[in-house]
Amino acid sequence: MKFMLIMRATDEAFATMEDTDFDEMLETVGRFNEEMIRAGVLVAAEGLQDAAEGVVVDYSAEPPVVIDGPYGETKELFGGFYIINVASKKEAVEWAKRQPITGPGFKTEIRRVSTIDEFPQDNEWIKKERAWREATGQL
């Protein structure tokens, strides 16, 4: 089963990292990534740029409104993610507990990633997606 580990933090938690040496942080995270690679569970891992560089498309109006970051008042920001392939949610939780960037205000949300096999296979759009995945080596 695939799970997404969503790295979240409050503005205050992110602020505590401002004085962290970037090379030191890369080493710490790199060791964790290497551990997941050696265990054969890592599928993808990406960090995200600062929210000030992003935008939000708000669908509350017609046409949708594009809002430049930062997004005003935030309680938690999504800072990056891992996709892992493990046997169970329990195993995903165990990997999340080992995540090296921790402390007050840091959280990891764990969500299972649905597979294409869980959708109606006779659906025209699922058939098209399955063909695309097969053509691109994803299945």
| Side chain identity, residue 22 | F
Examine residue 137 and state whether it is found in any structural domain, yes or no: no
pLDDT one-digit tens code per residue, 76-127? 778 899 999 999 999 999 999 999 988 898 999 999 999 999 999 999 999 9
* Cα→Cα distances 14→10, 84, 132, Å: 6, 24, 39
Task: Residue 74: give the domain boundaries.
Answer: 2-113
Would the pTM of this model clear 0.95, i.e. be above it?
Answer: no
Examine residue 60 and state whether it is found in any structural domain, yes or no: yes
Examine residue 42 and state whether it is found in any structural domain, yes or no: yes
User: Where is 38: in which H helix or E strand?
Assistant: helix 22-39
C-alpha 83/C-alpha 114 separation (Å) is: 12
The number of domains in the chain is 1
